[in-house]
Chain A
Amino acid sequence: MSLFKAKKKYIRIKPSDYMGDDTVSHLDVPEDMFKKCPHCKNIIYAKDMGDEKVCPCCGYNFRLSSKERLDNICDEGTFVPFNEEIEPKKTFDFPDYEKKLEKAKENTGINEAVVTGFSKIGGIDTAIAVMDAGFIMGSMGIVVGEKITLLFEEATKRKLPVIIFAASGGARMQEGIFSLMQMAKISFAVRKHSEAGLLYVSVLTDPTTGGVTASFAMDGDIILAEPGTLVGFAGRRVIEQTMKSKLPKDFQSAEFVLEHGFIDKIVKRDELKDTLWKILKLHGTL
């Protein structure tokens, strides 16, 4: 973002006027023209957020779809999807799950909660996986686990680094214990990639929680996070029930886990590509 942009004024809407969803749809304006920042609560002109979707008032990073993320990070036209059409090894007769999956596919235009493939970042080849919180909260079931495992296995074969953008509510409840097993399955593939001396960079984006935090997201040689990202294992409500008290607002934020020593660095979205490129370059993967 430019330092020289003129400061703009933003409308502040009283809570009583605001119905609580992200778009101010009840105002008489074209849809998506204005957005409410969930962090500073200002109403902002969508165009001011730029392609990176950062709140111009407070710097909050709006959630990106996997496509937006890939557009932000990969060199133009270099992303080649891998295992786009993978079929689940098992079907689950969980009530309404089939419908839920169909709806998620329709809404997001992708087949599952992670997109995997190969691309270039600043001219350097890398394997990349981007989770999509818009797809059933980015939850991890068999297909997500398999795609990430296959990506690590293929990257090991091709001697490439892996970059994963985590964005997930955790394990996919509807697939039950099989979702839990994905955490272990992926760990084997991460290990073999690591034993081959290859680099794995994990980027935590909003939200990174549950079984994803408790597996590959925390396994990176280098772990980065976007500012303000929710990072945690247990859900906030569960912790509050356990503690029988309210938690401070920044509990389980990227800043919180940085302070406690569990991640390497917080990187602003507009510096992320450059940071990743430097890391790749310093690992000699040109």
Chain B
Amino acid sequence: MEDIKTSWDIVELSRQQDRMTGHELIDLIFEDFIEFHGDRSIGDDKAIVGGIASLKGKPVTVIGVQKGKNLSDNIETNFGQPSPEGYRKALRLMKQAEKFNRPIICFVNTPGAYSGATAEERGQGSAIATNLLEMSGLSVPVISILTGEGGSGGALALSVANEVWIMENATYSILSPEGFATILWKDGSKAKEASELMKMTAKDLLENKIVDKIILEYNGEKKLTNEEIANNLQEELEKALDRYSLMSKEDIKLNREIRFRKY
């Protein structure tokens, strides 16, 4: 039945406010989550949540983009658009994970990195660039899961991972279809047409080997509950991390490098 959905249908589904947030996913999948705050430089970006938790008894570092479920949440979390200090907080937690040899799991759902004046003043480009560079060298396994919108460099900055998974109705793209249509045709209202060309749905992305796995949101026609999706994710994560636990640090790095060298 998924075949009936157009790319635009999926774009709209990926943006729905009732999708699980970073916080919800973390609470459903892990135990003993302790949230850590701040980039140790200028502030604490609420668009990114992160900390340590256990996955079936094993310590992990978890990081998620936090999109709100209503307007007041969204004002606090800036509609899931991280600022430079958010990316720096994420990186701080990743380096901490590396020190203590913990796997890293990222949940990504962002329309894009924040594009306000403060973001430029605080070096949004530099913050993303640093994350890409540092993530490329992490010696612990990283699994990133696109759970809603995967918007551009802002999503990539949490997705230089050994494995990139995507939820059935999530997207990943170079830019929003609206932005894409504006740049190429000077007409943002052609977003629908743009979305068809952009190959941004889970199915297209798997075909193009941009993602490694699709996490189902439906069983046939039946929509899975949040708990069911989280249980599946928990099982998949456990299996994946078991695989990486047998690999040396060098091999974990090499595995990630080979994954991205093919592009």
The interface of chain A, by Cβ under 8 A from chain B, is: 94-95, 142, 145, 149, 171, 173-174, 176-185, 187-188, 190-191, 195, 210-211, 213-219, 231-234, 238-239, 242-243, 247, 251-252, 257, 260-262
In the bound complex, do residue B125 and residue A183 qualify as a contact, i.e. CB atoms below 8 Å apart?
no
Can you list 6 A-B pairs with a CB-CB distance of less than 8 A? A173-B175, A178-B208, A211-B152, A233-B113, A233-B120, A239-B120
Chain A residues, CB < 8 A from B100 = none
Chain A residues, CB < 8 A from B121 = 260
In the bound complex, do residue B136 and residue A188 qualify as a contact, i.e. CB atoms below 8 Å apart?
yes
Q: How far is the CA of A215 from the CA of B154 in the complex (A)?
A: 12
Give min CB distance, A199 to chain B, whole Å.
15
Q: How far is the CA of A216 from the CA of B205 in the complex (A)?
A: 24
Give min CB distance, A183 to chain B, whole Å.
6
Q: Binding site of B, secondary structure by majority: helix, strand, loop or mixed?
A: helix
The answer, among A173, A174, A180, A187, for a CB contact under 8 Å with B136, is A187
Q: How far is the CA of A98 from the CA of B256 in the complex (A)?
A: 32
The answer, among A171, A185, A210, for a CB contact under 8 Å with B260, is A185
Q: Indicate if B132 sits at the interface (CB-CB under 8 A).
A: yes
The interface of chain B, by Cβ under 8 A from chain A, is: 113-117, 119-126, 128-130, 132-133, 135-137, 152-153, 156-157, 159-160, 172-175, 179-180, 183-184, 197-200, 205, 208, 210, 256-257, 260-261, 263
In the bound complex, do residue A217 and residue B152 qualify as a contact, i.e. CB atoms below 8 Å apart?
no
Known: A176-B199, A180-B152, A218-B125. A187 touches B173 (CB 8 A): no
Q: How far is the CA of A141 from the CA of B210 in the complex (A)?
A: 15
Chain B residues, CB < 8 A from A187 = 129, 132-133, 135-136, 160
Q: How far is the CA of A145 from the CA of B126 in the complex (A)?
A: 18
Give min CB distance, B36 to chain A, whole Å.
25
In the bound complex, do residue B115 and residue A233 qualify as a contact, i.e. CB atoms below 8 Å apart?
yes
Q: Binding site of A, secondary structure by majority: helix, strand, loop or mixed?
A: helix
In the bound complex, do residue A218 and residue B126 qualify as a contact, i.e. CB atoms below 8 Å apart?
yes
In the bound complex, do residue A238 and residue B115 qualify as a contact, i.e. CB atoms below 8 Å apart?
yes
In the bound complex, do residue B116 and residue A191 qualify as a contact, i.e. CB atoms below 8 Å apart?
no
Chain B residues, CB < 8 A from A184 = 132, 136, 156, 159-160, 260, 263
Q: How far is the CA of A215 from the CA of B135 in the complex (A)?
A: 12
Known: A215-B129, A239-B120, A260-B123. A234 touches B115 (CB 8 A): yes
Q: How far is the CA of A70 from the CA of B252 in the complex (A)?
A: 39
